Amino acid sequence: MDITNSDTVSCNKQVKVLIVDDQPLVCVGLRKMLESRPEFKVCGEALSAEEAMAVLQTGPPDLMMVDIMLKDTSGLDLVEHVHAHFPKIVLMVVSIHDEALYAERALQVGALGYVHKLDPPGEVIKAALAVLRGEVYVTEKIASNLMTKIAGRRNQSSSVMDVLTCRELQVFELTGEGLGPTQIGSRLKINKNTVETYRTRIKKKLRFRNAAEMRREAISWTHGPKS
């Protein structure tokens, strides 16, 4: 595939895109937006990681757009798995979740881009074209944060993201939003006992003495500045 400039994709075939999002309306919207451009052809839509992997077995796409929270797993876990087993597929995250919290982790596990669902359609297209050229696409703010980390000026948020897995990070963020284990389980579509297991791991990794300290720090981290 020959990707030539920032405005178009020139190639012998259309770019095949797989959309992975557990909200059907979002899938429809992304499909319409992409197929309004001649460069793109949506080859499939998946509501879960399991459905996405089934599509990959029938023929891998050129580009995958993945949401962070899926029906059966973290979208970031899916990105990591696909990156490891299908390295030629270009991956980007399209999510409603805070870019400041998740963009760095998305890049760490194999995505080349991260855009917010509330961004204008043109921004999503711009990001897709950029990652297809092999470029990393994030906002200027996130790029600045990454450069700060490279320079060695680590802050609390980057430390948390270095230590926790994708799913643990989601549980920690939702704890910071004031949700209890039952509510977190409902949001992530996992049972309460599994949430408690993640919370125990988080307390151990971040050396919290008890649940109250973890909750207090989660609130501070989730709502505090990420720059």
- Does residue 136 belong to any structural domain of this protein? yes
The domain tally of the chain equals 2
Whether residue 6 is contained in a domain is answered as no
Residue 126 shares a structural domain with residue 167: no
User: Would you say residue 5 lies in a domain?
Assistant: no
Give dist(CA 153, CA 149) in Å, integer. Answer: 5
- Residue that finishes a domain, picked among 145, 167, 191: 145
Give the range of the structural domain holding residue 206, as residue numbers without chain letter: 156-222
Q: Are residues 138 and 173 in the same domain?
A: no
State how far the Cα of 21 lies from the Cα of 92, in Å rounded to an integer.
12
- Tell me if 226 sits within 8 A of 180, measured CB to CB: no
Do 82 and 172 share a domain, yes or no? no
DSSP per-residue codes, 193-218? HHHHHHHHHHHHHTT-SSHHHHHHHH
Share of the chain above pLDDT 90, in %: 50
The answer to whether residues 126 and 192 belong to one domain is no
State how far the alpha carbon of 220 is from the alpha carbons of 104, 128, 167, 175, in Å: 19, 33, 19, 11
3-state secondary structure of 41: strand
CATH number at residue 52: 3.40.50.2300
In a shared domain, residues 173 and 135: no
Please check whether residues 83 and 127 belong to one and the same domain. yes
The pTM of the full predicted model, rounded to 2 decimals, is 0.70
Q: Please state, in angstroms and rounded to a whole number, the distance separating the CA atoms of residues 70 and 72.
A: 6
DSSP string, 104-159: HHHHHHT-SEEEETTS-HHHHHHHHHHHHTT--B--HHHHHHHHHHHTT---HHHH
Query: Could you tell me if residue 89 is inside a domain?
Result: yes
pLDDT in tens, 50-106: 999 999 999 899 999 999 988 778 899 999 999 999 999 999 999 887 776 788 888
Q: Give per-residue pLDDT as tens, 174-215.
A: 999 899 999 999 888 889 999 999 999 999 989 898 889 999
80 and 100 assigned to the same domain: yes
**Final residue before a domain boundary, out of 123, 145, 167:** 145
193 part of a folded domain: yes
Q: Are 111 and 63 in contact (CB under 8 A)?
A: no
- Last residue of some domain: 145, 164, 198? 145
